[in-house]
């Protein structure tokens, strides 16, 4: 029972991470496409300004919780995915630095350089997270000792790449939606146009991804046993449709919330299909790490549950406060403040 609760919490933490860091990663990936001049590019940086760091902590929490509640899953997941994980971490380092350093030297060359770094270092995590999670859905070649029999290229299979593209596009749309909230004038209109371009692409990718999931993975097995679970992909679809409906009505925050719901339910769709598997072995079913054989002791799970139940709502509460405090669009006037990025 404790293991099941923790599995759900584990999925929830990743989902929150995708929702929150998703928009700033997506926004950074759109930098060269939406930011047509210096002011607009700086508005894009500052649209993520007070949020990106706090958002990234959800990754640390998701990692930390995996470590605490499922040490075996943590150990196998990160050692098997050694290369992609380190590439992800280096990208995140460069992303953070590009935020902090870009505006520190008054030179167009310097700024252009960091814009390039910013674009690439946001793009890579979007794709890699998709590739990694698609491969986890499908299963990876690990043996009973947790040794990975493959290499980086083996992760770049059709399904893995489909996951990468799928994640990239939904992060980008999520980021573009965020920019519609945080900007005004031509930049906002361009962001809206981008959402309208990406929306049908994403719908198509969702369908393709679901079909490929049926072909390449075993995720639907759980769905056939408990058909009630089909509500999850349907809710994801509803979220996506909601984005369009809310935009038609000109309601930007609700549109972003629908996009967030879409991301949450896509994550839950995958997790529900994997359950109780966490690291599914594609070569030896007995070698799979599950929520049951990979969990910590009941005492640790209980203590950590207490910590999570107290702390996560507190964190969410003050983060919501911060989002409200900085909800106004970034304007050119804000950029003249000496604290702006």
Interface with another protein by CB under 8 A: which residues?
49-51, 53-54, 56-57, 59-61, 63-65, 67-69, 71-72, 74-79, 82-83, 85-86, 89-90, 92-93, 96-97, 99-101, 104-105, 145-148, 296-297, 299-300, 303-304, 307-308, 311-312, 315, 318-319, 322, 325-326, 337-340
Where do runs of H (alpha helix) occur along 30-107? 31-34, 38-48, 52-69, 71-80, 82-101
Q: How far is the CB of 136 from another protein (least distance, A)?
A: 14
- What letter would DSSP give residue 140? B
CB of residue 188 vs another protein: minimum separation in angstroms? 20
Cβ 306 to another protein shortest distance, Å: 10
Residue 10 near residue 270, CB atoms below 8 Å: no
Give the separation between CA 55 and CA 49, rounded to whole angstroms: 11
Residue with tokens 């549109």: 255
Take residue 160 and report the two structure tokens written for it. 């893995």
Of residues 217 and 288, the one with the C-beta less far from another protein: 288
* CB contact at 8 A, 8 and 165: no
- In terms of CB distance, is 221 or 325 closer to another protein? 325
Q: Is the Cβ of residue 85 or residue 203 nearer to another protein in the bound state?
A: 85
Residues in Cβ contact with 334 at an 8 Å cutoff, skipping those fewer than 6 apart: 46, 340
Shortest distance, CB of residue 268 to another protein, whole angstroms? Answer: 21
Which of 167-201 are b and which e, b meaning 16 or more Cβ less than 10 Å from the residue's Cβ? Answer: bbbbbbbbbbbbbbbbbeeebbebbbebbeebbee
Shortest spacing between CB 297 and another protein, in angstroms: 4
* Cβ distance to another protein smaller for residue 179 or 229: 179
If the CB atoms of residues 75 and 161 are measured against another protein, the closer one turns out to be: 75
User: 175 or 242, CB closer to another protein?
Assistant: 175
The distance of closest approach from Cβ of residue 335 to another protein in the complex, given in angstroms and rounded to an integer, is 12
DSSP-assigned letter for residue 20: H
CB neighbour list of residue 286: distance below 8 Å, 6 or more residues apart = 144
Question: In the chain, at which residue ranges do the beta strands (DSSP E only) sit?
Answer: 277-279, 289-290
User: Shortest gap between Cβ of 14 and another protein (angstroms)?
Assistant: 14
State how far the Cα of 12 lies from the Cα of 271, in Å rounded to an integer. Answer: 9
Distance from C-alpha of 298 to C-alpha of 3, rounded to nearest angstrom: 8
* 142, β-bridge pairs: 148
Q: Which is nearer to another protein, 199 or 341 (CB)?
A: 341
Smallest distance, Å, CB 241 to another protein? 32
Cβ proximity to another protein: between 217 and 281 the closer is 281
């Amino acid at each position: 029972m404790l293991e099941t609760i923790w599995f759900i919490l584990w999925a929830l933490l990743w989902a929150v991470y995708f929702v929150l860091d998703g928009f700033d990663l997506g926004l950074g990936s759109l930098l060269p496409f939406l930011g047509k001049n210096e002011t607009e590019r700086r508005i894009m940086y500052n649209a993520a300004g007070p949020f990106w760091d706090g958002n990234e902590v959800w990754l640390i929490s998701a990692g930390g919780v995996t470590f605490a509640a499922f040490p075996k899953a943590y150990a196998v997941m990160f050692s098997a995915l050694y290369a992609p994980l380190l590439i992800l971490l280096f990208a995140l380092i460069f992303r953070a630095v590009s935020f902090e350093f870009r505006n520190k030297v008054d030179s167009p060359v310097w700024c252009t350089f960091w814009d390039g770094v910013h674009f690439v270092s946001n793009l890579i995590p979007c794709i890699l997270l998709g590739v990694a999670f698609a491969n986890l859905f499908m299963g990876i070649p690990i043996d009973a000792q947790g040794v990975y029999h493959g290499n980086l290229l083996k992760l770049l299979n059709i399904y893995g790449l489909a996951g990468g593209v799928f994640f990239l596009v939904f992060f980008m749309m999520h980021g573009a939606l965020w920019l519609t909230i945080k900007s005004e004038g031509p930049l906002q209109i361009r962001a809206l146009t981008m959402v309208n371009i990406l929306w049908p692409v994403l719908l198509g990718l969702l369908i393709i991804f679901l079909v490929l999931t049926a072909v390449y993975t075993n995720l639907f097995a759980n769905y056939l046993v408990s058909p009630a679970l089909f509500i999850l992909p349907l809710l994801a679809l509803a979220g996506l449709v909601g984005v369009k409906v809310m935009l038609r009505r000109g309601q930007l925050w609700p549109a972003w919330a629908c996009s967030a719901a879409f991301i949450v339910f896509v994550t839950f769709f995958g997790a529900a299909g994997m359950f109780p598997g966490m690291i599914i072995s594609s070569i030896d079913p007995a070698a799979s790490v599950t929520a049951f054989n990979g969990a910590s002791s009941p005492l640790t799970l209980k203590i950590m549950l207490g910590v999570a139940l107290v702390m996560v709502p507190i964190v969410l509460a003050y983060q919501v406060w911060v989002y409200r405090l900085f909800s106004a669009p970034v304007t050119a006037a804000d950029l003249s403040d000496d604290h702006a990025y």
